[in-house]
Amino acid sequence: MEPLASAAACGKVILFGEHAVVYRRPALAVPLTQVQATATIEPGEAGITIDAPDLNQSVSLDRASPASPLAAIVRLTLAHLQRQPDTLRLKITINSTVPIASGLGSGAAVSTAIVRALAQWAQATLDEATVSTLVFEVEKLHHGTPSGIDNTVIAYQQSVYFVRDEPIQLFNVATPFTVVIGNTGVAGSTKVAVSDVRKGWEADRAQYEAWFDQIGAIVQQARSAIESGAIDQLGPLMDQNQALLRHINVSGPELERLIAAAKGAGAAGAKLVGGGRGGNMIALVTEQNVTAVSAALKDAGAVSLIVTEIS
């Protein structure tokens, strides 16, 4: 049987600016199209069910907790589309290759795919801003006080210079460059990491504000380098960003092991991505050393690798 609707959304990776972005400093993030979440809608037997085998979740909308992100995005989208859920019989199936709790936007990708599929099913057209706004509401369940960067990059599927509560700015990549993303295999909770940074900031605002200012300055330099094609400047900027992320205590031993391995194999720079405390790291590589860096990351314990060109 043909599905009633099907839609997909990509992952994302933050190049520079994690955590400081929550405090209204800029960040640079790009879509990660090698990983995708797909939502497929079929006729259901009773009510609305949402099955996400890759996430080990299955919920029935009428019995789901308000804290369930899957149920929340369906409810929000149907309300926006002015459809009454208690009159519908739908089965929504989620398949996702975006690693969970690893800084690549799994939650936002799944939510975006669901919004797009429901809009397609309802024969409605939703612009990117509307999709992003709906997904952001559910990001609060995932992350507590999210910056909004995940839903923005994924909904627009564009490289974004992002400042919280300011108009979106797209940025151009003058010269494509290659990165390797290594997964520690350790689930990192962005909500916990963001909460812990908040506690540190509340205890010593002057010091944390200074660190956030330094991260913001790195982001500005990185944007200029990317837009001018000065890719050789990005490695040291990654290293500087990582040093500041260590100061705010969001790195971890598994991340540090992979970062050291990448650097030892010739990567020009490396840092964690996303919330930290596990999840993924990113390394800037060349055509000449991508194989060596990838092998070193595997040897150091990376459970999976993504090699991608940023363009």
Domain ranges of the chain: 5-170, 177-310
How many whole angstroms separate alpha carbon 170 and alpha carbon 272? 23
Catalytic residue status for 51: no
Give pLDDT tens digits for 265-307. 999 999 999 999 999 999 999 999 999 999 999 999 999 999 9
- Structurally, what CATH architecture does the domain formed by 5-170 represent? 2-Layer Sandwich (3.30)
* CB-based contacts of 127-136 (< 8 A; 24+ apart in sequence): 128/155, 128/156, 129/155, 130/80, 131/155, 132/156, 134/73, 134/76, 134/77, 134/80, 135/73, 135/108, 135/111
* Cα-based distances in Å from 56 to 24, 68, 102, 236, 258: 34, 13, 16, 39, 28
Q: Which residues pair with 45 in a beta bridge?
A: none
How many whole angstroms separate alpha carbon 21 and alpha carbon 18? 6
Look at the domain 177-310 and name its fold: Alpha-Beta Plaits (3.30.70)
How many whole angstroms separate alpha carbon 16 and alpha carbon 29? 7
State the pLDDT at residue 134.
Answer: 97
State the pLDDT at residue 101.
Answer: 76
Q: Answer whether 36's CB lies under 8 Å from 53's CB.
A: no
Fold agreement (5-170, 177-310): no
Which among 51, 127, 150, 204 is annotated as catalytic?
150
φ and ψ at 216, to 5 degrees?
A: -60, -40
pLDDT per residue of the chain (311 residues) written in tens, 0 to 9:
789 999 999 999 999 999 999 999 999 999 999 999 999 999 999 899 999 998 888 999 999 988 899 999 999 999 999 999 999 999 999 999 998 877 899 999 999 999 999 999 999 999 999 999 999 999 988 777 778 889 999 999 999 999 988 988 999 999 999 999 999 999 888 889 999 999 999 999 999 999 999 999 999 999 999 999 999 999 999 999 999 999 999 999 999 999 999 999 999 999 999 999 999 999 999 999 999 999 999 999 999 999 999 99
